[in-house]
Amino acid sequence: MSVHEGPEDAIQVSLLTGWLGSGKTTLLNALLKHPDMAETAVLVNEFGDIGIDHMLVDTVDENMVKLTTGCLCCTVQGDLSRSLRELFLKRVKGEVTQFKRVLIETTGLADPAPILHTLMNDPIIASRFFLDGVISTSDAVFGHGQLDRHEEPRKQAAVADRIVMTKVDMAKPEAMDSLETRLKTLNPGANIIRAANGAIEPDALFGCGLYDPESKSFDVQNWLRDESFREDHDHDDHGHDHEDHKHMHDPERHGDGISSFCMRYEEPIEWPAFVAWIQTLITHRGENLLRIKGIVNIDGEENPVAIHGVQHIFHHPVRLPEWPSDDQDTRIVFITRDLDQKVIQDSLDALQQAAKKTE
């Protein structure tokens, strides 16, 4: 697993997901009318899914339209990788606006993991685009029932960086508070925003990723949000004989088989051992790893490395130009399904100890 330098001209990509009827279409329609969405390309499943006919100003081709705000709206032609490559080629040739952001809208039934796999695993896509974040909608009226009956909305909420609670004008305050508590249990690191009729500023949804091409900066604190996970106990509480690891975990922060926790290591980590651990973990338990994000202090390196993975796929680690703060601990956030944190923690501890013995 080689370490890459940060992208220089990456195009930010955001994923908009949410269960059927959860208000995703309404949110997207409202966003498309906003002037701040200029220089954005939107990939949707079908134009018919969103009422944008009245907004069209020009037809670029049969699969692409241009909106009054400057957005491009395109259909995903079966294969996301091909659609993104074709869209980027049109941009290079000057056939479309020099968009700086891509927003991908999924079907309500979609598991977000395969799309994240494409963004991280396709070498051409990964060299041109950079994941900004996952936005998920949750129905303030029917959200509890959807989470009870279906696995997909639970996964959509669990992997999200932003959760938009929709239809808040139709729900009772106590119902919204209850749903927000449940969503925070599923994903304590996500910002939860309440919106009626899709009324929300774009900057509340975007710019949540690791890298911002506009400022050429790395906002690790915003991207990782490990401060959302309460520090519960030190490593030696588990009976280990060293004190270089702290584990941030709330045993109540789980539900529906989905758990969220953050692991910390104060001492630098041996990179070969860490790579071996990651590869072993995703090989044997990849289907249970909904999302992993972290910043790693590598032994012998001055600057940290950012990691990001979804199930069996890991994005190339990115070497950051500097530490984002005085806190130089390794911090790794996990969103897992039916996988206890102790299994992960013990496996990394074992490799770390083995690496130290060979020094």
Q: What is the pLDDT along the chain (359 residues), one digit of tens a residue?
A: 667 666 667 788 999 999 988 988 889 888 888 888 888 998 887 655 555 544 544 445 667 777 777 788 888 766 888 889 989 999 999 988 889 899 998 877 778 888 888 888 788 888 888 888 999 999 999 999 999 998 889 999 999 999 999 999 999 999 999 999 999 988 998 999 999 988 999 989 998 877 766 666 777 777 787 777 754 434 433 334 344 555 444 433 444 688 888 999 898 998 988 998 999 998 999 889 989 999 999 999 999 999 988 888 887 888 888 888 888 999 999 999 899 889 998 988 887 777 667 66
User: What topology is assigned to 230-357 in CATH?
Assistant: Hypothetical Protein Yjia; Chain: A;domain 2 (3.30.1220)
Residues of the chain with CATH 3.40.50.300: 4-218
> Considering the domain 4-218 in this protein, what is its CATH number?
3.40.50.300
Distance CA 135, CA 116 (A): 12
Contacts of 118 (CB under 8 A, 6+ apart): 80, 81, 125
Nearest C-alpha neighbor of 202 from the set 10, 67, 35, 13: 35
The residues, any chain, with a CB within 8 Å of residue 33's CB and separated by 6 or more, are: 55, 69
Pairing of strands 4-5, 211-212: unpaired
215: Cβ–Cβ under 8 A, 6 or more apart, which residues?
Answer: none
Contact between 333 and 293 (Cβ < 8 Å): yes
pTM score: 0.81
Of 107, 115, 256, residue with least CA distance to 187: 256
Residues 6+ apart with CB under 8 A from 166: 18, 22, 23, 24, 26, 27, 137, 138, 139, 140, 195, 196, 198
Which residue intervals of the chain bear CATH 3.30.1220.10? 230-357
